[in-house]
């Protein structure tokens, strides 16, 4: 199921006026997907940059056009016999900030058209490499031709491409056959993949909170800045008053500005 279809299903089931997701999930994949409801949709940008954790399995020796098991086979090589040390040595080379070329089967756009629409017509276009950060890449299991791994990576990382790149460094080709997103930021996958509900204040808990007075709240609500000396670092904060969450603000030095209001 596509991310769009999942959002529409949730929207219909919960009788929502609006719904949107904070990061797509491949149709093949299972696990965590953040869906924002009604007025919470305006806060989507604050979740897009969260690190994600995946557990996935590569099948070596077979390449597909989509880089997953749902695509057409485009190349076959004999699956190599690998040692755990061989695999771990290659995995180390992917740790840190690297450049990755997005796959043709992706929702990125080229001249206003989604890449997967071009790919389905048999067209291939140049894609710019994008900077990603892989903070963890852990070996879990090897049962030839399958390699099971876990990764923690930044926004914009395509695990399908990572599988293909790992396979290439191992001297073969490969594609992803299982993919599960086990974490997005603080949000963990549940064993039964059922829905879990959070208030927008709870969901934004990765930002520190700042309580403001009634006067400060009025100034911020009007779009003006206030000054506070008790905030230690620049970045985003949750701004709260005596009633509850007012919105997300930004801190620059001692100046605070409201960026996105709840109401």
Q: Annotated catalytic sites, by residue?
A: 26
CB 79 within 8 A of CB 145: yes
Q: What is the DSSP string of the chain?
A: --HHHHHHHHHHHTT-S-EEESS---TT-EE---EEEGGGGGGTHHHHTS-EEEEEEEEETEEETTSBTTS-EEEE-PPPP--HHHHHHHHHTT-EEEEEPPPSSSS-EETTEEHHHHHHTT-------EEEEEEEEEEEEEETTEEEEEEEE-TT--HHHHHHHHHHHTTS-EEEEEEEEEEETTEE--TT-------HHHHTTTS-EEE--HHHHHHHHTT--EE-SS--S-EEEEEE-SSSEEEEEEEETTEEEEEEE--
């Amino acid at each position: 199921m596509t991310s769009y279809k999942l959002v529409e299903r949730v929207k219909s089931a919960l009788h929502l006026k609006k719904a949107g997701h904070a990061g797509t999930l491949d149709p093949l994949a299972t696990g965590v997907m953040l869906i924002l409801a009604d007025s919470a949709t305006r806060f989507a940008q604050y979740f897009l940059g969260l690190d994600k954790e995946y557990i996935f399995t590569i099948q070596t020796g077979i390449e597909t056009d989509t880089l997953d098991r749902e695509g057409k086979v485009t190349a076959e090589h004999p699956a190599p016999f690998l040692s755990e040390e061989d695999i771990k040595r290659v995995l180390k080379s992917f740790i840190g900030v690297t450049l990755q070329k997005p796959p043709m089967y992706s929702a990125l756009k080229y001249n206003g058209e989604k890449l997967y629409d071009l790919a389905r017509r048999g067209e291939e276009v140049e894609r710019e490499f994008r900077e990603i950060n892989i903070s963890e890449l852990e070996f879990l299991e090897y049962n030839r031709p399958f390699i099971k791994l876990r990764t923690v990576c930044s926004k914009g990382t395509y695990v399908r491409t990572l599988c293909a790149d790992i396979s290439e460094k191992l001297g073969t080709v490969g594609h992803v056959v299982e993919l599960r997103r086990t974490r997005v930021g603080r949000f963990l996958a549940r064993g039964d993949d059922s829905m879990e509900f959070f208030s927008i204040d709870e969901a934004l808990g990765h930002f520190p909170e700042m309580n403001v007075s009634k006067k400060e709240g009025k100034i911020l609500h009007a779009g003006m800045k206030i000054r506070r000396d008790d905030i230690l670092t620049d970045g985003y904060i949750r701004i709260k008053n005596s009633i509850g969450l007012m919105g997300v603000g930004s801190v620059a030095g001692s100046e605070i500005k409201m960026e996105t209001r709840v109401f």
